[in-house]
Amino acid sequence: MKKDFYLTRYALIIKKLESAPANYSQLEEYLLNSFEFQDAGIKSYSIRTLQRDIREISDLFNLSIHNKKKGDNRYYIESRPMMEVDEYNQKLLESFQVSNALNLHPDFADFIFFESRKPTGVEHFYDLFFAIRNKRVVTFEHYNYKNKLMTSRKVHPLALKESKDRWYLIAIDTKDKTLKSFGLDRINYLDVNATKFREKYKYNFREHFKNAFGVMNLTEQNPQKIVLKCSKHQGEYIRSFALHQSQKETKETPEDIYFEFFLHPTYDFMQEILSYGKEVKVLEPKNLVENVKKHLQESLNSYFED
């Protein structure tokens, strides 16, 4: 059994048991017939390896897999982690599957093409993660694209959030005690201080982000019901890959699909809507409709000015 193949095995075992319980023979048949095993040239999978894999899956993914001792001796997932851990596990599994495919086949560059834009700022990720867990004060220089200024910041780091392939630090700025977000790609000269902050902040970020789209000022707006009318063509894409977890399909006609959301009508969400052009129209709320109209009119005016 190839040593660098274990993550692929874990992903396949979880995938199989999530669909239905299976005994050793069924798992062995599923694994050996998978394209991953065939591609790697693996022709055997012992019960001893399965038992070791189950222990490792439990430690790594917090998934409890048990075996029904009576009857057909099937393995099944007994318990699942909390929702937030489950989201993390899913992303981890996806990363493992892609990573293993690339590691096993050095010629992947002829068949797999990544986005040419390179994410920046991720070199600060673990330092900030450490600072958050240990309540360490953090200082850094932060660049503002709007006013093109570099400013010194001293913050109490509280969370990290991903939005559109960018990572943001959510922190309390000690200068004005305000909750702010800082793009990791705009942070320079990061220093995690030995000093700890003692304040006990009561933010429930999971609850806040539940109604968020992108990165936002968490105190700026209340979440609202948002209704979109989408062309049938674009609606099919939005149906298959939801814009937000609150998305609900409310109506379908031969020409259109209607969706309802409950979230903060932020600038980030408006930009997402605008990216679909005439294929998506905002019906509610009125203030978002007016903001979209204003933005479109200003965009049109900029062309006439030329």
Sorted by where each begins, the domain ranges of the chain are 3-110, 122-203, 224-305
How many angstroms separate the first and last alpha carbons of the chain?
66
Q: What is the pLDDT of residue 36?
A: 82
Going by C-alpha positions, the residue among 251, 130, 247, 145 that lies closest to residue 192 is 130
Could you tell me the fold of the domain covering 3-110? Arc Repressor Mutant, subunit A (1.10.10)
Could you tell me the fold of the domain covering 224-305? Alpha-Beta Plaits (3.30.70)
Q: 230, 279 in Cβ contact below 8 A?
A: yes
Residue 148: strand, helix, or coil: coil
CATH 2.30.30 is the classification of domain 122-203: yes
> For residue 201, what are the contacts with CB-CB under 8 A and spacing of at least 6?
156, 158, 172
Amino acid at 274: L
Q: 114, 121 in Cβ contact below 8 A?
A: no
Q: What are the strands, taking DSSP E only, across the chain?
A: 64-67, 75-79, 136-144, 149-163, 166-173, 178-183, 187-196, 224-231, 248-252, 256-263, 280-284
Question: Per residue of the chain (306 residues), what is the pLDDT tens digit?
Answer: 555 678 788 888 988 888 889 999 999 999 999 888 888 888 899 999 999 999 988 887 777 888 876 666 889 887 665 444 456 666 766 766 676 666 666 676 677 776 666 666 788 888 999 999 999 999 999 988 888 889 999 999 999 988 877 889 999 999 999 999 999 999 999 999 999 999 989 888 887 788 888 776 555 668 899 999 999 999 999 999 899 989 999 999 999 999 999 988 888 889 999 999 999 999 999 999 999 999 999 999 998 876
The tokens describing 116, both together, are 């040419």
CA 277 – CA 147 distance, rounded (Å): 29
The tokens describing 139, both together, are 């200082």
> For residue 246, what are the contacts with CB-CB under 8 A and spacing of at least 6?
210, 211, 261, 262, 263
Q: What is the pLDDT of residue 184?
A: 92
